[in-house]
Amino acid sequence: MADFPLPPPPPAAAFASEKARYVAAATTPGGFFGAGNAERPEREVSESVYLLLQAEMAHSLRDRLGVDVATERLGAIGFTTGIRLATRMTAVKLPITNERNLMKYVCKELWTYLFRKPANRLQTDRLGRYIIQDWSFRWLEQFQPPAASGGVALAGANGSPQTTLAGRALAVELQELACLHLALPCGLLRGALHALGLESKVSAEVSVQGLPQCTFIVTLEGSEQAAVAAAAAGAGATPGVTSNVNIEADMAVLGTNRSL
């Protein structure tokens, strides 16, 4: 089967033009469906179909190209999709210029749109990175932690887990697949932040025993260097330790006990 490389992301001018088109469509009778079709409902696709498509993309790319290339391809697809999604969602909204408010918007509005619920926790660490935690990530719900009855995790005499050889192999496979399935969401977040005016790097962390819980780490351009410089000058604590400072004290975006 021929392997066709993904095209590069369109230039910024193309996204400005697309946003203008979304604004015009959203403020014109008939909406996105054109004049005379105002009563026509927006078409939807079953979520199960979408999740199956995403899983098939991940497995197909991994089998044909390997894990590393598959991860890169899924991230690129998510990036362009995230740009278009955020552009459409914010087309008729007032621009959000505050960095923290942008992150709150992502954790509530964008997260709910994509994953049917807000993120559970938004934090910063002392490297200036944003840590987004989802305690039951929708796209990982098909992955289950290894069951003791399956010979994967066995309890030792002192209650500590003892993993069989087959169990370790399964755990490695689950870890690889879970990380691969998080490549597309990472790309979506990076693309959405790009559309909102923030350049970033997004990575994900997941533990097999903690599935379907996962953590996304968002590093904004220049934030890590600034945090390290501030710490070196004595203006901050040791880098790498999670900050407990609440940046949402006046705005309960994520609900009770879910603020930063």
Q: Could you tell me the CATH number of the domain that includes residue 214?
A: 3.30.1380.20
Q: What are the two backbone dihedrals, phi and then psi, of residue 31, each rounded to the nearest 5 degrees?
A: 60, -140
Average pLDDT over residues 25-51: 59
Residue 253, domain member (yes or no): no
Neighbours of 121 (CB within 10 A): 17
Residue 182, domain member (yes or no): yes
Residue 238, domain member (yes or no): no
Average pLDDT over residues 13-42: 52
Tokens (6 digits) for 47: 């979520």
Q: What is the pLDDT of residue 245?
A: 39
**Predicted confidence (pLDDT) per residue in 85-128, tens digit:** 999 998 888 788 899 999 999 999 999 999 999 999 999 998 89
Residue 141, domain member (yes or no): yes
DSSP state, residue 242: B
Residue 245, domain member (yes or no): no
Report the length, in residues, of the chain: 260
Residue 7, domain member (yes or no): no
pTM of the model: 0.70
Residue 8, domain member (yes or no): no
Helix (H) or strand (E) holding 162: strand 161-163
Residue 78, domain member (yes or no): yes
Q: How far apart are CA 227 and CA 125, in angstroms?
A: 9
**Predicted confidence (pLDDT) per residue in 124-171, tens digit:** 998 899 999 999 999 998 887 766 434 444 344 444 454 577 778 888
Alpha carbon of 13 to those of 9, 19, 21, 95, 195: distances in Å? 11, 10, 12, 18, 12
The tally of domains found in the chain comes to 1
The residue range of the domain holding 136 is 13-35+45-232
